Amino acid sequence: MKIVVFSGAGMSADSGIKTFRDSGGLWENYRIEDVATPEAFANNPQLVLDFYNMRVADLRKAKPNAAHLAIARLEEKYEVEVVTQNVDDLHERAGSSKVLHLHGELTKCRSTGDETDIYPMPEAGLMLGDLCKNGFQLRPHIVWFGELVPAMEEALKVVRSADLLLIVGTSLQVYPAAGLAFEAPQGAEVLLVDPGEMPAYMKATVTHIKEKAAIGVPKFVEERMGKI
């Protein structure tokens, strides 16, 4: 049986990582057009680098929560693939072995001259003047608004191969990623773990576990795996 997990920022909320659209979320304090678009980086690269350096620093202080750990444990019994909108590495640090990042990774940076020229994010974060081996400025390895989502094709294949799709902590507001929630094959079981309201159009086909991820996901895993 193959379980695919499709996670969003709510997955990492219980690790202390801010979500985007909840109250106190990142987009409450920053405008997307100032820090998360190619134009923003062209206009004020230092502001963009500062924004991601702050998020990298937050991530280094965070730890995987019970939901990340429970998903990693599923691998003892099931074939599991994680498709995440998150740019943190908490799924990997929890032990998940197959994680596909749709929106990039905070722990990496890349050349502005060649998007395949990727490096680990420096401990101190990125500064203007940090250059790739060919002399181009380095940038966060993040998919900004308005940029293509290179992993989308692969993600569609993964979700379409699921016997069970577990959606965790996403407002399903950002496409094309959000469309994955509707791509599970006919007959696959689809569940959503989110303390917020489930969109009405999902009520007929999706089982809603109306809990925080750190509570709802371990509960789901215990049911499917036996006592944790």
Q: Is 38 in the site for ligand APR (CB under 6 A)?
A: no
Residue 7: its H or E element: strand 2-7
* Count of CB atoms situated within 10 Å of the CB of 223: 8
Tell me the C-alpha distance between 14 and 114, whole Å.
35
Q: Is 91 in the site for ligand APR (CB under 6 A)?
A: no
Q: Is 166 in the site for ligand APR (CB under 6 A)?
A: no
Beta bridge partners of 3: 80, 164
CB closer to ligand APR out of 151 and 213: 213
The question of whether 101 is a catalytic residue gets the answer: no
CB closer to ligand APR out of 81 and 88: 88
Query: Does residue 176 have a cis bond before it (omega within 30 degrees)?
Result: yes
Q: Is 149 in the site for ligand APR (CB under 6 A)?
A: no
* C-alpha triplet 72, 76, 79: angle, nearest 5°: 80
CB closer to ligand APR out of 22 and 183: 22
CB of 120 to ligand APR, least distance (A): 21
Token reading at 146: 């308005």
Annotated active-site positions, please? 103
Summarize as ranges the residues that interact with ligand APR (CB under 6 A). Answer: 8-10, 13-14, 19-22, 25, 85, 103, 169-171, 173-174, 194-196, 212-213
